[in-house]
Structure 1
């Protein structure tokens, strides 16, 4: 239960739902147990009146005895019906308090998990796959809800009913009660043994379900690659293996439960047999009446429900504990990146001082003792071979990661002391891997702002040189995009992503190699528009093509995580080093094309 103790804060929050719920449980069970005593009196009445009826055989009084007997039975029957109606009413109230509380807790938990996920740093998402994250926020939360709702409700109900039944049994006859409850220690041992097995199997089931969800999510996201390489059959085979593993684990749990429930019912049946046998001897001895045996049989049968529910509740609790353990693993994680408190007005003055960075999950040192400065209003370009550390620099500048060593200063202040929300809201960032949402083109462009006009959206699309493409669609800006923007071409996706950054009118713009799928003419148009929009503002452009960056105020050449050259286009060409070599190679490639 240590993992489930995390939920105590929710129970405290909704205490005014739990407390009335517990009260309704107690009242409903009182009305559930009292009918057994009514049945005892009715049974004794039948036995006594049957003897009196036979005694007056042949006399007129026999009809009077019969009428009294009939009215008495009708009264007892109506009383039992009334008691069960009251019990049903309070059971309804019980569900309306406790079950509704569980839905509120489910809502709070999902919000808490989602909010916590958003706080975690980019490295967390590199280490964990989307399917597992989704499964913990949906399937695991649902299993926890079954604990805070049905499991707790039936646990209260079972406990109260069990205590009431035992109290009334011992108040009637202690000897008979002891024999009737004799199988219970065996039941306790069985539950203790089975609990461990259920817990182990539940954890395996949830882990396998996460693997299965991750596999499906990943294959559907990469469906184009799968079809291109004709790997549908291969994926189907792997899915069948993963699904079979899930089925095997689930069947193992079902087998345990299939053995558990009949065993409990058998023990209840033994209690009934002992009740009739020992009760019969007690009646012969005159210790109890036949009505008491009927009363005890009702009690024993009433215990069938608590005992049966005990197994089901145990399963729910064990599965919820396994799920809550998985949820706690992520909720207890702290973000690698914590926002500072200093608000700044971003102008674009940036300084890197001996900055190095190593990816924790791979151990790759992507940036090594990098130092450079960017002044307000400068257009700075970063170029280098694949894997030289260009995108890592962009991520460090956006503070997706903190450097392993060295300092990054923004407007003279340490980046880790600056309020992240304020800082990032003043930056327009276009990542290398373009991501568009399954929404309209208009909403994708307006994503970074709470409220925009159609004129702003149109202008951003024009600045990104994608306006003519959009108005060519049948529904224009209301065109719905498929998952990850699959409806658009690669170049169109990049330009919509650029429009999303430009509409913010940012103080600083960072392009992470986001013009790779754009033709030269469109690229020149976009860069020309950027020159007008970003006048007096800082722009950082990461690119592979030298033609894209030749007009930059400063060019940084990266190789193997280090800056090997720095200067303008002309200065770097005149130096005749790595940049000049890259320029000549790209000219030869263009001539060959």
Structure 2
């Protein structure tokens, strides 16, 4: 149970509710133990009446008294059982809530490399299915475990005190039942682990299929995806049926061994009654009730073992990610004010997952309020520069300074709060357009939202929708065109009004006229703001204070628009090429 030690902090957090649950559980079971002895007494009263040892009135009075005690004990036991579930099971739900939040919070801390190495479906399965399995340990396992322990401690000594011979024979099959159910539970554990792993695979497949449905339809691959889904479903059915076949033994074995215990009680008790070793048939009835009260707790020993094993396996999967340390660490917890000066000193960066060196010995400086355009072929390292400024990765060698301080020494939250980033692949949430724009500034007014939408030249498009700014987008903004998504993302960044703008080829899906209008608006909005623009178009770069041309991770050219046009090179060739395309 070493993996489950992670939950101890939550048990300490809710110790009072758990303690109350334990006390209530014991009380509920004690009231339950009252009933069999009074059933015995009631039968004895009937026997005494039949034997003319008590009169009718006395018999009626005692029977009514015993029945009221039985009903009262049953009601009190039921009431405390309800309270027991309201305490212990509720605590398990609190722990489930806390654990899901802990996992989700940790997911957000982890670096991009983690998400490159793990699938979304698996991440989702661990925070849903695996946490659900752990909750069974934190709730039902504790509750039924206390019930079982209470009944064992109280009931078994009581049975041997009242009739040791009947007690011995009544209890003989129960250890066999417990061992068999433990053995079945071991097999259930192994097979349920396979089912859990399969659910991760299925979640990943479903998530990727639904996210990529446009590509699947475009390539007419529906039948192929359906075949893969059918193969997965068949595999899942096989694993689930293997599990179900073992689980099917659980209750039949329990009923069989309960029956054997009851037969022993009736036969041995009957022989003892005939021989005069016990005084009343009521003792037999009492022991039958005891056996049936013990059956579920005994059976549950194996079931509890299975719950703990499944929870252990699930918590181990959860801990694998909780113990994962983010590669990007926040080394300062003091609030830092960012002004916007960026300096790259001999920066080299290699991606760990691919071992590709994206940047090689890069050096440049951007002063506060300047605009720098970064151009180059695909794979030249343009986007990597923006990722390093946002500290999504740390450099392999060299140093990045922000306001003449090492970027790694700055408060990470302060750094990223000072950035307004528009990624190459614009990501929008399945929410209203208004809320997507407000994502960077939750308290923004309607006037501010409309203002930045107009600056991003997307206001007219939004007002053309039936519900305007209240239009709810599909997943990943699928409702909008590529250009509209980019412009909504630009509006989001503008609303934040950060110290540093990072635009990663964010105008690639808009026409040149719209691009020109947006660039003019961006120039006014980013006045006194440091701006880095990654682009494939000279039109996005020509007005920049500095232009950097990258090739194969190195700076190929650096300067202003007119200066770069004066020399032969990549920038001049790109300018002439795009100029001729525009004229045609």
TM-score between both structures, scaled by the size of structure 2: 0.95
Which residue of structure 1 aligns with residue 473 of structure 2? 481
Which residue of structure 2 aligns with residue 36 of structure 1? 36
Which residue of structure 2 aligns with residue 373 of structure 1? 365
Once residues 118 and 164 of structure 1 are traced to their aligned partners in structure 2, the CA distance between those partners, rounded to angstroms, is: 49
Which of 506, 520, 524 is 2:516 aligned to? 524
1:230-260 Cα deviation digits (max 9, x unpaired) = 2222222212222222222222222111113
**Most deviating of 547-556 and 337-346:** 337-346
Offset of 1:590 from its aligned partner? 4.2
The answer to whether residue 245 in structure 2 is matched with residue 255 in structure 1 is yes
8 Å contact kept, 1:202–1:322: no
Which of 170, 180, 183 is 2:173 aligned to? 183
Which residue of structure 2 aligns with residue 203 of structure 1? 193
Offset of 1:381 from its aligned partner? 0.9
Once residues 2 and 110 of structure 2 are traced to their aligned partners in structure 1, the CA distance between those partners, rounded to angstroms, is: 24
Which of 281, 289, 311 is 1:298 aligned to? 289
Q: Counterparts of 1:7-406 in structure 2 under 5 Å?
A: 7-52=7-52, 65-289=55-279, 290-341=281-332, 342-406=334-398
Q: Determine helix, strand or coil for the equivalent of 1:503.
A: helix
1:21-62 Cα deviation digits (max 9, x unpaired) = 111111111111121111222223333332237xxxxxxxxx
Once residues 175 and 64 of structure 2 are traced to their aligned partners in structure 1, the CA distance between those partners, rounded to angstroms, is: 40
Q: Determine helix, strand or coil for the equivalent of 1:138.
A: helix
Offset of 1:316 from its aligned partner? 3.2
Which residue of structure 1 aligns with residue 438 of structure 2? 446
The answer to whether residue 485 in structure 2 is matched with residue 493 in structure 1 is yes
Q: Determine helix, strand or coil for the equivalent of 1:118.
A: helix
Q: Counterparts of 1:458-477 in structure 2 under 5 Å?
A: 458-477=450-469
Once residues 532 and 492 of structure 1 are traced to their aligned partners in structure 2, the CA distance between those partners, rounded to angstroms, is: 21
8 Å contact kept, 2:372–2:547: yes
Q: Determine helix, strand or coil for the equivalent of 1:356.
A: strand
CA RMSD after TM alignment? 2.0
Offset of 1:589 from its aligned partner? 4.3
Once residues 169 and 328 of structure 1 are traced to their aligned partners in structure 2, the CA distance between those partners, rounded to angstroms, is: 45
Which residue of structure 2 aligns with residue 432 of structure 1? 424
Q: Determine helix, strand or coil for the equivalent of 2:496.
A: coil
Task: Say if 1:79 and 1:543 are closer, same or farther in 2 by CA, change over 3 A.
Answer: same
Once residues 90 and 573 of structure 1 are traced to their aligned partners in structure 2, the CA distance between those partners, rounded to angstroms, is: 86
Which residue of structure 1 aligns with residue 6 of structure 2? 6
1:471-502 Cα deviation digits (max 9, x unpaired) = 33333222222221122211111111111111
Q: Determine helix, strand or coil for the equivalent of 1:437.
A: coil
Which residue of structure 2 aligns with residue 502 of structure 1? 494
Offset of 1:408 from its aligned partner? 0.7
Offset of 1:307 from its aligned partner? 3.0
Offset of 1:73 from its aligned partner? 2.5
**Most deviating of 103-112 and 272-281:** 272-281
TM-score between both structures, scaled by the size of structure 1: 0.93
8 Å contact kept, 2:186–2:306: no
Offset of 1:398 from its aligned partner? 0.6
Number of residue equivalences: 582
1:186-233 Cα deviation digits (max 9, x unpaired) = 234324423332222222111111111111112111221121112222
Once residues 120 and 521 of structure 2 are traced to their aligned partners in structure 1, the CA distance between those partners, rounded to angstroms, is: 37
8 Å contact kept, 2:341–2:366: yes
Once residues 525 and 340 of structure 1 are traced to their aligned partners in structure 2, the CA distance between those partners, rounded to angstroms, is: 41
Once residues 471 and 276 of structure 1 are traced to their aligned partners in structure 2, the CA distance between those partners, rounded to angstroms, is: 82
Once residues 192 and 364 of structure 1 are traced to their aligned partners in structure 2, the CA distance between those partners, rounded to angstroms, is: 52
Once residues 466 and 64 of structure 2 are traced to their aligned partners in structure 1, the CA distance between those partners, rounded to angstroms, is: 77
The answer to whether residue 400 in structure 2 is matched with residue 408 in structure 1 is yes
Once residues 134 and 109 of structure 1 are traced to their aligned partners in structure 2, the CA distance between those partners, rounded to angstroms, is: 14
Which residue of structure 2 aligns with residue 546 of structure 1? 538
8 Å contact kept, 1:261–1:311: no
Task: Say if 1:362 and 1:203 are closer, same or farther in 2 by CA, change over 3 A.
Answer: farther
Offset of 1:131 from its aligned partner? 2.0
Offset of 1:313 from its aligned partner? 3.6
Offset of 1:311 from its aligned partner? 4.5
8 Å contact kept, 1:131–1:214: yes
1:247-299 Cα deviation digits (max 9, x unpaired) = 22222222111113322322222222222233234334433223322221211
Once residues 366 and 336 of structure 2 are traced to their aligned partners in structure 1, the CA distance between those partners, rounded to angstroms, is: 17
Offset of 1:586 from its aligned partner? 3.3
Offset of 1:431 from its aligned partner? 0.5
Once residues 477 and 277 of structure 1 are traced to their aligned partners in structure 2, the CA distance between those partners, rounded to angstroms, is: 80
8 Å contact kept, 2:182–2:302: no
8 Å contact kept, 2:39–2:282: yes
Once residues 69 and 339 of structure 2 are traced to their aligned partners in structure 1, the CA distance between those partners, rounded to angstroms, is: 83
**Most deviating of 224-233 and 390-399:** 224-233
Offset of 1:154 from its aligned partner? 1.8
8 Å contact kept, 2:373–2:546: yes
Once residues 49 and 320 of structure 2 are traced to their aligned partners in structure 1, the CA distance between those partners, rounded to angstroms, is: 68
Task: Say if 1:292 and 1:192 are closer, same or farther in 2 by CA, change over 3 A.
Answer: same
Once residues 132 and 401 of structure 2 are traced to their aligned partners in structure 1, the CA distance between those partners, rounded to angstroms, is: 45
Once residues 361 and 264 of structure 1 are traced to their aligned partners in structure 2, the CA distance between those partners, rounded to angstroms, is: 53
8 Å contact kept, 1:261–1:308: no
Task: Say if 1:116 and 1:311 are closer, same or farther in 2 by CA, change over 3 A.
Answer: same
Offset of 1:312 from its aligned partner? 4.1
Q: Gaps spanning 5+ residues in structure 2: where? A: none
Once residues 34 and 238 of structure 1 are traced to their aligned partners in structure 2, the CA distance between those partners, rounded to angstroms, is: 59
Once residues 233 and 494 of structure 1 are traced to their aligned partners in structure 2, the CA distance between those partners, rounded to angstroms, is: 33
